[in-house]
Every structure is written in structure tokens, then in C-alpha cells.
Structure 1
Amino acid sequence: MEITIFGKGNMGQAIGKNFAEAGNNVQYYGSKDTAQQLGDIVVMAVPYPALAALAKQYQAELAGKIVVDITNPLNFETWDELVVPADSSAAQQLQKLLPESKVLKAFNTNFAATLQSGKIGELPTTVLVAGDDEDAKETFKSALASSALQVLNAGKLKRAREMEATGFLQMTLAASEQIGWDGGFGVVGTNK
């Protein structure tokens, strides 16, 4: 499968590593690059404020594509709140900007180090995925099936709100040095 990743930072590289190890072809684009061709799955591994501009720039090219939002819409000045309305999420906002795309929320509850290692402590790294298109979630899951990651269906796109709150909580714990950036929340007892 062809995977496009917007973002060449730690998260983009860690996500791309897993897709590549699972046998997919991965193409990266940085903030100054112009994407020539987009893959079947397009990962937005960019800061939340960059989402709207990317959606606007590539709206036509993203039609029909699976678009994965990994952002956590934190107020990075205060580290004390999410900047999206209480009844919404960054992923839901992105879906409104890309009505012809299949938007998924994933990777926002993972740190780059746990995506690189495939482990959180002794547990496998679990990627939660939410979205309204069940086929898109299955395609996403199958694209990572041969990676070290475990993928769980977290439900409809409206679950992205809880995922973003979880990502926010995990980031604040790491920023306050109560956990390491190679730690985080793990999932035990999954039924495969």
C-alpha cells in the first residue's frame, strides 16, 4: 500500500517506520515540500495549527483518501487545555474541512519512542483508531498488521474527543516528568 506522511519529525518517522516494516511504501513530505502524489493513506503528522492549511491546500487530492489525524490540540502556551470545543475534536474539525475524505484519528495517544520500539514497558504499543468509515479503519489496521504495533478500533470519529483528552493527559504527565517520553498508557487483556 502507498502511504504518504506529512511531517518528517519524530512522530512522522516513527509512524513511517511501522508502515514500512509492515511492507508498505512510505513517502514523506516536509512543511516546505509540495506533494506530487498522495498515497492510499495520508498521515497528518503535523502540529494541530497546520491541519487547516494542509486540508485547504490538498482538499481535491485528498478526496476519497484515508486521512489520519495524529494531533493533540493543546494550548501549548499554558499546557492547561484543549483548544477545540468541548463537543468536538481536531479530527472532527478536519472531517468538516475534508468532507470527501475518510478521516481517522490515530497515533495521538502514542509517543514517538513507543512507536519506534513497539513497546510500552513490557506491553506492545497499542494504537487506537477512531473513525466513521469501518472499511477505512480495517484498511488502516491491515496496513499495520505486520508491524510491532497492536491496533484497536476505538469507535466512531466522535471518540476522537476522548482520545485527544487521553493524549493531552499523557503529554502533561511526561512534560511534568512524572513519566518518561518513552512511557505512556498501555492496554492489557485485548481480545484479538
Structure 2
Amino acid sequence: MSSVSIIGVGNMASTLATRAVAGGNSVEIIGRDQAKTKELTASLGGATAGTVGTVPAGDIVILAVPYASAAAVVSEYGAALAGKVIIDISNTFNADATGLVTPDGTSGAQEIAKAAPASAHVVKAFNTIFGHVLAQGHPLDVFFAGDDAEAKATVSAFIESLGLRPFDVGGLEMAHWLEGMGPVLMGLARNGAGTFDVALGVSILS
């Protein structure tokens, strides 16, 4: 199992932490709001509370913060993230979820990678799943992208520990398209599916 530090105390952080603990992973919660951090840690039973700005205990660091602040958070930690696998779960769609705020040819994950130490490896994952759907415990498909094979293998094993099915879509440049799936998922929920209790998945036909 994995050693995981989650930066953030929002709904997605809580959901991932819950599934991570249930999957037998070692979990550290790091949040600026100490009251929320302690509350979340206590509710998980077995997780620990970390300190903002210090070296995260986990080999995997899940960046569970909004895209607008994600790169700044990584810059703030600086060398403390050296050698870590950083999972970026953020979405980069605009206010009405009809497009992306990032320019063509790049992604939020790539911008985060620029802010990270050279020895850290950013992997995009989990942004194509609604948090409330993830909390329901379904065996969902998780798409991920990254440039380092070892880092992706680490993330794939972690995803499996959550009872989910990992799908590698390629290098970190593919994060742009994973982030583009956010508006697609929102559009599907608002229109064709007619519900936000929906998830994207893969059917392998033999």
C-alpha cells in the first residue's frame, strides 16, 4: 500500500482520504484550517495531521486544492516536494463549465509541473470523477496521465487500492484533454444524462 499526504480539506480531499484509509494506505492530512484538519483526521480513524509548509510524510502528495491556487501551493512547498509523486486532481474549466481557462497546448497539470522541483513527478488523475459519485463507493474508472513511468505505476497501484480501475492515457501533455473532459462530463450531466450521478468509463470489447 501507499503512503499518502493530502493537501486540502475539502470534499474531494475528504472522499479520497476516506477511500485511501479503507484501502489500507497510510494517510496524512495537511490543511491551513487546523480545526477542519483535526476534524477530518479524527473522522477517518488512523490518519494523521501534517503541518503546512513542511515536508509531507507521504511518497504520494495529492494536491486537493482549486486550480487557481495549485501552482502557488506547489511553489510554496518548494524543495519539500522533491522526489514526491504529485497527483493533480484539479479541474480548469471556466465559470459556466463550457471551456477551459488554460491556453491551448498546455494544462493545469503542466503548469503545476513547472512549479514543482525537478525531481518531483506530476500525474494528472481523478479530475474526471464527481466527488459525490466517488464517495458512493462504486468501482469507477480513473484516467491518469504523466511523463514518468515509475510515478505512473505508483499512482496506478494507489488507484487500485481505492477499489477503482486505472487507465493510463499517456504523457502529461494528455492532461489538457483530461481537463477537457470536465466540461464534457458537466454537459452530459446537465443534458443527455439528466443527473449528476454519472461517471465516465471504459468498455473493452473483445
Please, what is the CA RMSD of the aligned residues?
2.1
SS of equivalent residue, structure 2 residue 74: helix
Matches within 5 A, 1:29-40: 29-32=30-33, 34-38=52-56, 39-40=58-59
Matched, 1:168 2:183: yes
Structure 1, unaligned runs of 5 or more:
none
Structure 2 contact 113–121 (Cα < 8 Å) conserved: yes
Matched, 1:45 2:60: no
TM-score, length-normalised on structure 2?
0.82
Matched, 1:136 2:154: no
SS of equivalent residue, structure 2 residue 152: helix
Q: How many residues align?
A: 186
Runs of 4+ more than 6 Å apart: none
Structure 1 contact 14–116 (Cα < 8 Å) conserved: yes
The structure 2 residue matched to 1:153, chosen from 168, 191, 197, is 168
Distance 1:58 1:190, change over 3 A: farther
The structure number with the bigger radius of gyration is 2
SS of equivalent residue, structure 1 residue 8: coil
Structure 2 contact 93–182 (Cα < 8 Å) conserved: no
The structure 1 residue matched to 2:79, chosen from 60, 66, 71, is 60
Distance 1:56 1:140, change over 3 A: same
Matched, 1:16 2:35: no
TM-aligned CA deviation for residue 190 of structure 1: 7.7
Structure 1 contact 18–144 (Cα < 8 Å) conserved: no
In the alignment, the residues of structure 1 paired with residue 196 and residue 29 of structure 2 have an alpha-carbon distance, to the nearest angstrom, of 24
The structure 2 residue matched to 1:98, chosen from 113, 116, 120, is 116
Q: What is the identity, as a one-letter code, of the residue corresponding to 1:51?
A: A
Identity of aligned residues (%): 37
Structure 2, unaligned runs of 5 or more:
35-51
